[in-house]
Structure 1
Amino acid sequence: MHLAGSGRVIIQLSKELVEGQILTDAKGTRVAKVMELIGPVRRPFASASPLTNNIKKYIGKNVFADDNSPANTKKKNRRRKK
């Protein structure tokens, strides 16, 4: 993970992620939210917004995709009341 001048973090991906996915540390602490996927398809990166004020603590460390992230869950169909 690298801290960009914009305040976002840039993460080299080892598996496919989607925009809006939450990234956590090894303990499950929410670290960042994926905002966009960038770079070549063979070696993708993600630009993510920090979810912690102490993001510098995570620079150079591995982060993991949170499988319970809202981006991973399907939206339920909602009926409109008439």
Structure 2
Amino acid sequence: MHLANSGRVIIRLRRPLEEGDYICDDSGRRIGRVTELIGPVAAPFASAISLTNNIKKYVGSNVYFLEEPVMKRNKSRRYRR
């Protein structure tokens, strides 16, 4: 991982991801969300938005992505009685 001047996190990928996938640490805590894929197809990079204030702690370490989708709540039914 590398922290860009824009505040985004640049991640070197070993396999392709999709935009919107979540990046997590060893414990499974979500630390970022992929916004775009950049670079050549043979050696891609991902640009991600940080979801934590202390992203500098993860720079230089290995990160993973969540394979299972996160369940989304339907907010329109949340306040319905």
Q: TM-score, normalised by structure 2?
A: 0.83
Gaps of 5+ in 2: 72-81
SS in structure 1 of the partner of residue 52 of structure 2:
coil
Q: Tell me if structure 2 keeps the 8 A contact 1:22–1:31.
A: yes
% of aligned pairs identical?
56
Tell me the C-alpha RMSD between the 2 structures: 1.3
AA aligned opposite 2:30: R
Q: Counterpart of 2:61 in structure 1: which amino acid?
A: K
Alignment-derived partner of residue 39 in structure 2: 39
Which structure 1 residue ranges, 4+ long, deviate > 4 Å from structure 2? Answer: none
Normalization by structure 1: what TM-score? 0.82
1:18 partner letter: E
> What residue number does 1:15 align with?
15
Code of the aligned partner of 2:21: Q
How far the C-alpha of 1:16 sits from its partner, in A, is 1.1
Where structure 1 has 5 or more consecutive residues not aligned to the other structure, the ranges are 74-82
Q: Is the 8 A contact 1:22 1:69 kept in 2?
A: no
**Matched positions, count:** 71
Deviation, structure 1 residue 68 = 2.4
Correspondence for 1:30: 30
Q: Secondary structure at the match of 1:33?
A: strand
